[in-house]
Structure 1
Amino acid sequence: MTPVPYITKWSTEVPDSSRLVRSRRGGIAYADETASDRDTHGTLWVRMSSSPGEGRPDFGIVHTPRQRRAMQDLLCQVCGGPADTSDDGVLWLLEDHRDDWSGWPDGMGVTEPPVCLTCVDVSTSACPALRRSYAVIRAKTYPVAGVLGIKPSGPGGPDLVPFGDPRLPWVLALELVRQLGQCTILN
C-alpha cells in the first residue's frame, strides 16, 4: 500500500468558492473575509475543506492548509510529525538539481516541507519524482520567504512571490515558501 503524504490533497477536499472582491486596502479580499484568511504578512490564503483520509488521495496536489502548517511548524511532509533537526540543520528531501547552478540549493526557495529520518526511505521508494533522483539536504537557515500564489485576474499559473513584493496584495496564496541556506548535501 502506497503511503499518503500528510500534505496530499484528498478528493473530498475542495477549495472554497467564496467570491473575491477588490479590497479597500488595495489588492484582493474575500467578500466575507475573516481574520484567519490572512497570515501575519497580510497575505490572502486559499480556503480549502479538510477531510484527510476520505475519498482518494490526489497525489501531486498539495492541500494548502496542511502544507502551510507543515512549513510554518517544520513538520514532516510525509507523516506530519516533527521534521528531523540537528545542530547541522533541518532535513529536506528534494529532487536533485545540483547541476543547475554552483552552490545549489543555497538561496533556493522551496515549497516542499522538510522530512523526518524515517520518511526519507519511504519517500524515495514511493514518490515517482524522487525515484529518478533525489538529494538529502541539511539547511542551517530556512526563513519563511514568500508564497507560491496566483493572481486571480491575471494570466498565467502560480508564481513565487516574496514577502514585501508589491504584487503580494493581488495574490491568492497556495503554498508557503522557505529559502534554504547554509546547506549540506548528504548523499
Structure 2
Amino acid sequence: MLLPHGAGIGYADEILGDHDSRGVLWDRATINPGHGTPRFAKIHVHRQRRAMRKLLCQVCAGPADHGTLWLIPDRTRQWSDWPEGMAVAEPPVCLPCAHLATRACPALRAEGHLIIRAREHPIHGVDGTHYRAGPHSPIPVTSEPIAFNDPAIRWALASKLVRTLHDCTVVTGP
C-alpha cells in the first residue's frame, strides 16, 4: 500500500518487525528451520539478513572465514577493478563450505567463480523491489541495490542486506 503524503510503501496490516531499525520495509517470509529444500540463489530473507549482519557462512551458518571470505561469480572480464567496491548480497562463506558450494551450485559451475578476501566490507544498503506510486497501489519498477542514504529506500521492499567489498584479494581455492 502507499503511505500517506508520498512517504513510500508499507503493508496494510503492518506488524512489529516489518521495518528494521532504519525504517526499511522487509519482505515477509515464514520461519520454519529445518524444513524445505535449499534453493540456489534464493537464500531465505531472514537467514540472508542474519548472515550478512553477523558475517556468518551462508551455507552452514557458522562463523565465516574471518568474516571476510566471499565466493562470487567471476566478473574480471567485465570490470577492470573487480570486485573492488562491488555491492554483494551473497553472505560470506567459510572455506570448507566454499569447496562444497563450488561443486553444488550450478551458477558457480557455469559462470566460473573466485574466492575473494575483502578486508573491509561495510553494510551499504538493501536489495529488493523498488516501487513507485501508482493510481491505486504501488507499481514495481526495478530490482537493484539501494543505499541506506538514498531517499528511494522508502520505496523499496527489501529482501537482502547488501555490503560493499574493499581491499580485496583473490584467494587460491576451488
Question: Structure 2 length as normaliser, TM-score?
Answer: 0.86
- Name structure 2 gaps, 5 residues minimum: 132-137
> For residue 30 of structure 2, what is the amino acid of its counterpart?
S
Query: What is the root-mean-square deviation in Å for CA atoms of aligned residues?
Result: 1.9
Asked which structure has the greater RCO (Cα within 8 Å, sep 6+), the reply is 2
1:16 alignment counterpart? none
Match of 1:172 among 157, 161, 167: 157
Task: Call closer, same or farther: CA 1:147–1:23 in 2, change over 3 Å.
Answer: farther
Count residues with an aligned counterpart. 165
User: One-letter code of the match for 1:31?
Assistant: A
Among the aligned pairs, what percent are the same residue?
48
Letter in 2 for 1:141: E
Query: Runs of 4 or more off by more than 6 Å in structure 1?
Result: none
Paired with 1:131 and 1:32, the residues of 2 have a C-alpha distance of: 42
Name the residue aligned to 1:22. 3
Q: 2:109 aligns with which of 109, 114, 131?
A: 131
Post-superposition offset of 1:154:
2.6
Match status 1:74 vs 2:55: yes
Please list every run of 5 or more consecutive structure 1 residues that lacks an aligned counterpart in the other structure.
Answer: 1-19
Structure 1 equivalent of residue 134 of structure 2: none
Residue 44 to residue 52, structure 1, CA distance change in 2 (3 Å): same
**Structure 2 residue 12 is matched with structure 1 residue 31:** yes
Q: Which has the higher helix share?
A: 2
